[in-house]
Chains A and B, each alone.
Chain A
Amino acid sequence: MTARIVLPIARKLGEPMAVRILIQHPMDTGFMHDVSGAAIEKNVIHSLSLEFNGEELLNAELGTGTAANPFIQFQVRLRQSGEFLLKWVDDKGQMGMERAACIFADRN
């Protein structure tokens, strides 16, 4: 499983910017079948959190209603440089983690 945290290249300290989260995950609903006709077990990322410098900015509980390869974009306004930390857990108990440094060039 891989994930990405995408930050805008042109970003300014203290100004709103969009953070995009993308995780590679099939998000199996449990309603589908494979080519041999066997049911595919439900396996979705049920919880996800995004932290910035140890502070939680976003906490999401997802379900089968979220499309495969979950994508979430939301607005943040940061007051300092730091590091994003994305964590998630799926139904099989598999955990994932991704980091992204967010450095503001104009001031630190």
Chain B
Amino acid sequence: MNFKRQTLAKLANWPILALCRSMIIKPAGLVIPLGAVLVKARTVGAQALDVESEEFRLLFQELTQGQQVNVQRVHLSVPRLADNGHSVPLRVWVDALQSEAEHVKRLIILSCRNPRPLIARFQFKPMETPLSLSTRIRLNGSQRIWALAQLNDETWWGAHAQVEVTESACLDATL
């Protein structure tokens, strides 16, 4: 699976296929299916976002200004099973040099099921060391977490992870 994905990603970088990719925006004949398949492997649209709610999808598009998000370069580490939704450790790191030429401008952490999906938004000064950030978040039940990073060239990159939460952070003893 991993191999397949990498191969697809490599293929998608070929100039001829990149051309196909650019063409899928326009309704153009036979090129569409091939290009579409390759794009599917790399961007969000066709992937996991299909499972999320409409509200989440809108927020997601608003935050990324409707741009495509490449599910690459950003790494998200959360426990597979979190007993306590009040405090779930989370770590995000991004494959970017954090130099003036290439750095993460903005980092967003999103939750698909929290009443307020926007968990946190960060901005960084490029520090010439790969970006790595740890924090603790609150979760309202089992869900998918997204980490989105915008580089200085305005492209969006992301990663998602599934967390099972035993105890929701939105309930207390009075309910």
Contacts and interface: CB of A to CB of B under 8 A. Distances in A.
A67 B127 contact: no
Interface string A24-35: 000101011100
A67 B88 contact: yes
Nearest to B92: A74
Interface in A46-60: 55-60
B174 A64 contact: no
Interface string A1-33: 000000000000000101000000001010111
A94 B175 CA distance: 30
Given A16-B129, A72-B134, A75-B127, A65 B86 contact: no
Contact of B127 (A27, A33, A57): A57
A31 B118 CA distance: 16
Contacts of B134: 71-74
What is the predominant secondary structure among interface residues of chain B facing chain A?
A: loop
B174 A61 contact: no
What is the predominant secondary structure among interface residues of chain A facing chain B?
A: strand
Contact of A32 (B88, B120, B125, B172): B172
Interface residues of B, number: 35
Contacts of B114: 64-65
A59 B122 contact: yes
B120 A61 contact: yes
Contacts of B174: 33, 37
Chain A interface extent, by class: 20 to 34
Contacts of A63: 116, 118-120
Nearest to A71: B136
Given A29-B170, A75-B129, A60 B120 contact: yes
Interface in A76-92: 76-77
Contact of B87 (A16, A55, A67): A67
10 contacts: A29-B138, A37-B174, A61-B120, A62-B120, A66-B120, A66-B135, A73-B133, A73-B135, A75-B129, A75-B130
Interface of A: 16, 18, 27, 29, 31-33, 37, 55-68, 70-77
Given A58-B122, A66-B120, A66-B135, 16 more contacts: A18-B132, A31-B172, A57-B124, A59-B122, A60-B121, A65-B109, A65-B118, A65-B120, A66-B136, A67-B135, A67-B138, A68-B86, A72-B135, A73-B135, A74-B133, A76-B127
